[in-house]
Amino acid sequence: MAKGSSIRQRLAGWSRELGPIVLSVALVLVVRTVVAEPYTVPTPSMVPTLLVGDELIASKYAYGYSKYSLPLGQLPGFSGRVFDHAPERGDVVVFRLPRDPSTTYVKRVIGLPGDRIQMRSGRLYINDALVPRRAVGPFDSQAAGYGLPSTLYVETLPGGREHEIVEFSDTDRLDDTPVYVVPAKHYFMMGDNRDNSLDSRVAAADGGVGFVPEENLVARADLLLMSRNPAVGWLDVVHWPQAFRFDRSFDRVH
């Protein structure tokens, strides 16, 4: 057999083997760009809604697409959004940090464009109206990352949407703030773990989140796929029953 013919046969064989792999990778990228993308919660800032180690499925199509929709990096030369849908107050959103777009955060939308947001003595005010909350009872302070006695509340946003929050104090450093007026095409984000969240209450210039531009929105957190306590190592088989929080699997994110 001629040497050239042998090389062509090898190349044809490699092509047949690589074809399905390339197709699979392309399909995964399309799905993660257009439909949904997984996200692992790294911090306790959204406790009790999200715990450290929660694996989320976030819907990419919920708000449309921007240059940050690609899972492998930014789309150069693209600005704005296509198929744009505005988030609703109370949505839990995955977004790119304005001061460092390589970093991804997850927080709750509290302020919409034009809203006036303020914290007074630990209580949230939206457009100068006190947001109601009712106490549920004590909360696991270790899960909240405080190490101090904490309280679980249910907060009711304008429009009637409810979600849980955790507080250990109404006199912490972010419990009294100036009035924040949310600019057009921006959103005000807060963590449900109110005394342990770096969010829009801290300006980007001061190392915080600040107002989040609409193009930085990546996806809406919709579903908890699974939850695992990262404090338990993968090789620590004996403690696996305590590591996996099976009761959280396939829960909706509220």
Give the residue numbers marked as catalytic.
45, 107
Sheet with 162-167: list strands edge to edge: 133-139, 150-156, 162-167
Q: Is 64 left (phi over 0), alpha (psi -120 to 50) or beta?
A: left
Report d(CA 23, CA 86) in Å as an integer.
Answer: 33
Which pair of tokens denotes residue 108? 């709750």
Percentages helix, strand, coil for the chain, rounded to the nearest 5? 20, 35, 45
Report d(CA 122, CA 241) in Å as an integer.
Answer: 37
CA distances 41 to 77, 81, 160, 181, 221, Å, are 30, 25, 27, 29, 11
Please say whether the beta carbons of 152 and 141 come within 8 A: no
CA distances 161 to 7, 78, 110, 155, 192, Å, are 65, 34, 11, 8, 14
Please say whether the beta carbons of 82 and 65 come within 8 A: yes
